[in-house]
Amino acid sequence: MNHRSIPKSSKRWVVKIGSALLTNDGQGLDRTAIETWVAQMAQLRNNGIELVLVSSGSVAEGMTRLGWTERPVAIHDLQAAAAVGQMGLVQAYEASFQGHGYHTAQILLVHDDLSDRQRYLNARSTIQSLIALGVVPVVNENDTVATEEIRFGDNDTLAALVANLIDADLLVILTDQKGMYESDPRKNADACLISESMAGDEGLGQMAGESTGELGRGGMVTKVRAAQLAARSGTSTVIVGGREADVLMRVAAGEDVGTLLYVDCLPLAARKQWLAGHMQTRGELVLDEGAVRVLKAAGTSLLPVGVKSASGKFRRGEMVSCVDRQGVEVARGLVNYSIQDTLKILGLSSDKFVEALAYQGEDELIHRDNLVLVS
């Protein structure tokens, strides 16, 4: 059966390869496997499909080079391993792609690169330019300089954010499982492979569980979350076994391989994509029932009169989360006032701003162009 939900016009892919695959479960870079995947990606490029590769493996390769048998916990040890391992990872990809006539470009990102609007646009422009030049961008999290506060947390999430960034048609996550199962196949021999489902199916998270591997930070649950994040920009996701023969070519042919999590919502505008995928917030606004109802029904701007309380440390232009009285996130957006000024105008109409602030600012706490609903 074909993956009927993958449009035949899918011409821009993000391919993500995990640590367990790249390092043959921790035995060092599997250069034979890398060459196999690269050969398929080169063929896809020859067939007119634009590619961005998101690659894990730097920490795992660094561990192998340093003789470490267990993944370190301390952030500086992880950064050291990543710095050592990144050398081998880049060399492997560069050599393999050049053998097929393609140049590669290394792109290392931290969360702030995609949460800051200007840097987001710079990263987007750079990757778009590389694609136009026929270069294959190889993206990884910048583990060497990242700290816990700015880490993506896993490269599945990074791959989804890159898919948002470049308006990809398809995200292909290569993993050490054949796809997503209804239950853990390592614990249940009768577990059934899920052929396809809507990315927004709420039951997927429970089926994915919380298991993680020794080498990577992700698990099947992070792949489901990545698919849901990618879907916000109209990107479908295929989770599939990287060791399957000709796996990428079979996905491209529409073969029923792996698990397809297809888009079940309309793509958001580019700015809304960025807002929806913005993982870091600097504060929280608690809305009253009327404000929640109006935001959901009419997609209007958020006014201070509908906000009951504010917390956090945010400045004008930073991201805040908007929640209802039960703490459920309703929306997020870029706020027009600092936390100090927000607290002064809570519950007020705009004609009271001058008295409260000693200046007249915007009428909206968050303008609708800078606001996106998340539930």
Question: Binning pLDDT at 50, 70 and 90, where does residue 236 land?
Answer: very high
Stretch 19-32: mean pLDDT? 83
CA-nearest of 262, 193, 229, 216 to 114 is 229
Q: Among the ranges 66-75, 87-96, 217-226, which has the highest mean pLDDT value?
A: 87-96
| Statement to judge: residues 199 and 286 lie in one domain | no
133 found inside a domain: yes
| Statement to judge: residues 330 and 245 lie in one domain | no
| Statement to judge: residues 157 and 306 lie in one domain | no
Q: Which residue has the tokens 């109006």?
A: 294
| Statement to judge: residues 265 and 318 lie in one domain | no
Residue predicted with more confidence, 160 or 266: 160
Residue 267's pLDDT is: 72
How far, in Å, CA of 262 to CA of 82, rounded? 33
Question: Binning pLDDT at 50, 70 and 90, where does residue 216 land?
Answer: very low
Domain count, the chain: 2
| Statement to judge: residues 266 and 319 lie in one domain | no
Q: Which domain holds residue 312?
A: 281-373
The domain boundary residue, chosen from 273, 295, 310: 273
Contacts for 168 with CB less than 8 Å, ≥ 6 apart: 12, 13, 14, 52, 162, 230, 233, 235
| Statement to judge: residues 265 and 364 lie in one domain | no
| Statement to judge: residues 319 and 352 lie in one domain | yes
247 found inside a domain: yes
Stretch 67-81: mean pLDDT? 87
The domain boundary residue, chosen from 255, 273, 291: 273
Domain CATH for 342: 2.30.130.10
Whether the predicted pLDDT of 151 surpasses 50: yes
Question: Binning pLDDT at 50, 70 and 90, where does residue 20 land?
Answer: confident
How far, in Å, CA of 207 to CA of 284, rounded? 31
Question: Binning pLDDT at 50, 70 and 90, where does residue 143 land?
Answer: confident
Cβ-defined contacts of 21-27 (< 8 Å, 24+): 21/174, 21/175, 21/176, 21/242, 21/243, 22/55, 22/56, 22/57, 22/60, 22/61, 22/89, 23/57, 23/60, 23/61, 23/64, 23/215, 25/176, 25/215, 26/60, 26/63, 26/64, 26/214, 26/215, 27/64
5 found inside a domain: no
Q: Which residue has the tokens 């398809």?
A: 170
Domain CATH for 29: 3.40.1160.10
- Mean of the per-residue pLDDT values for the chain? 86
2 found inside a domain: no
| Statement to judge: residues 296 and 266 lie in one domain | no
| Statement to judge: residues 293 and 150 lie in one domain | no
Contacts for 118 with CB less than 8 Å, ≥ 6 apart: none
3 found inside a domain: no
| Statement to judge: residues 124 and 177 lie in one domain | yes
Residue predicted with more confidence, 196 or 145: 196
| Statement to judge: residues 132 and 262 lie in one domain | yes
Q: Which residues pair with 172 in a beta bridge?
A: 15, 238
Residue 233's pLDDT is: 82
Question: Binning pLDDT at 50, 70 and 90, where does residue 133 land?
Answer: very high
Residues 269-307 have pLDDT tens digits of: 766 777 777 668 899 999 999 999 999 888 899 999 999
Whether the predicted pLDDT of 91 surpasses 70: yes
323 found inside a domain: yes
Whether the predicted pLDDT of 47 surpasses 60: yes
Q: Give every strand in the sheet of 329-334, ordered side by side.
A: 307-312, 283-287, 319-323, 329-334, 371-373
Whether the predicted pLDDT of 227 surpasses 80: yes
234 found inside a domain: yes
83 found inside a domain: yes
Model's pTM, two decimal places? 0.76
The domain boundary residue, chosen from 273, 296, 331: 273
| Statement to judge: residues 287 and 267 lie in one domain | no
Residue 361's pLDDT is: 85
Residues 311-366 have pLDDT tens digits of: 999 988 889 999 999 999 999 998 999 999 999 999 999 999 999 999 888 899 99
